[in-house]
Amino acid sequence: MVPRGPRMYLVNQFTSGSRPVKRIADSTVRRLSAYLRFLEDFEHRGLATISSDELARRGGTTSAQVRKDLSFFGSFGKRGLGYSVPELAGRLREILGLGRDWRVIIVGTGKIGAALARHHGFRQRGFMIVAAYDNDPAIVGADLDGLTVRDISRLESDVRREHPDIAVLAVPEEAAQPVAQRLVKAGIKAILNFAPAQLQVPADVTVKTVNMAMELEGLSFALTNRE
């Protein structure tokens, strides 16, 4: 029934002038993220240039795909030479919005939420965990690597005052939708959801769901259905 448009994004700020607006597929964004990772590796090793073919090999895709992905945003390479590693890395950071810090809150500090709160890898990429929430009085007040777990009753007032950009949702399945609604109402526009639930949110809110049960079932399917 309900017709759905593909989940894509405007990139009008990249298309100069008044040309028709471009839309970027999710899969493209994921690959850009992967390319950036490889470029950072190359940067560390002091390499100056890289070809679409090398990026493709590292990313498990094709050189044509790499060039097409980049072409949505501009022409960053030199024919006959390839791409300047630092320049392309910079462009990708800009495209992905990594030129600034993002304020992240974690909602639900059970096993997964707590592990995420303690994970320092996010900070390095500009995702600053600024608060963590739980509804269990036994957990509220606890310390998570310098972060004090707050009572979830403060969620709305905190969000309105501290305007975090991204909420990581790590609550039990049955709490996921109600908490998501509270987050949206308080003004959150981006949610990383670890609950095995399909969240219903307004179109201007972006949700990425990480569903480990689903991934395991995908592996089960693959193991079961092989020639």
Partner DNA sequence: GCCTGTGAAGCAATTCACAGCT
Partner DNA sequence: AGCTGTGAATTGCTTCACAGGC
Among 44, 79, 161, 226, binds a second copy (CB under 8 A): 226
Q: Does 10 bind a second copy (CB under 8 A)?
A: yes
- Residues in the interface with a second copy (CB under 8 A) total 76
When CB distances are held under 5 to 8 angstroms depending on the partner's kind, the choice from DNA, a second copy, none that residue 178 binds is none
Q: Which is nearer to DNA, 24 or 186 (CB)?
A: 24
**x/- map, 11-50, a second copy, by CB under 8 A:** xxx-------x--x-x--xx-xxx-xx-------------
Contact in structure between 103 and 162 (CB atoms under 8 Å): yes
Q: Which is nearer to DNA, 84 or 135 (CB)?
A: 84
CA dist 157 and 74 (Å) reads 42
Contact in structure between 109 and 134 (CB atoms under 8 Å): yes
Residues 152-191 that bind a second copy (CB under 8 A): 165-166, 189-191
Q: Does 76 bind a second copy (CB under 8 A)?
A: no
Write the CB contacts of 100 (distance below 8 Å, at least 6 apart in sequence).
126
What does the buried/exposed string (b/e) look like for 60-93 if buried means 16 or more CB atoms within 10 Å of the residue's CB? Answer: ebeeebbbebbebbeeebeeeebbbbeebbbbbb
Give first-to-last CA distance, the chain, whole Å.
Answer: 35
Residue 193, phi then psi, degrees to nearest 5: -100, 120
Among 17, 20, 60, 202, binds a second copy (CB under 8 A): 60
CB of 165 to a second copy, least distance (A): 6
Q: Does 202 bind a second copy (CB under 8 A)?
A: no
Q: Does 123 bind a second copy (CB under 8 A)?
A: no
Q: Identify each DSSP E strand in 108-201 by its residue range.
A: 127-134, 143-144, 147-151, 166-169, 190-193
Q: Which residues bind DNA (CB under 7 A)?
A: 3-6, 8, 23, 25-28, 51-53, 61-65, 67-68, 70-71, 75-83
CB of 7 to a second copy, least distance (A): 9
CA dist 91 and 84 (Å) reads 10
When CB distances are held under 5 to 8 angstroms depending on the partner's kind, the choice from a second copy, DNA, none that residue 174 binds is none
Q: Which is nearer to DNA, 62 or 153 (CB)?
A: 62
Please state, as a whole number, how many other Cβ atoms lie within 10 Å of the Cβ of residue 41. 12
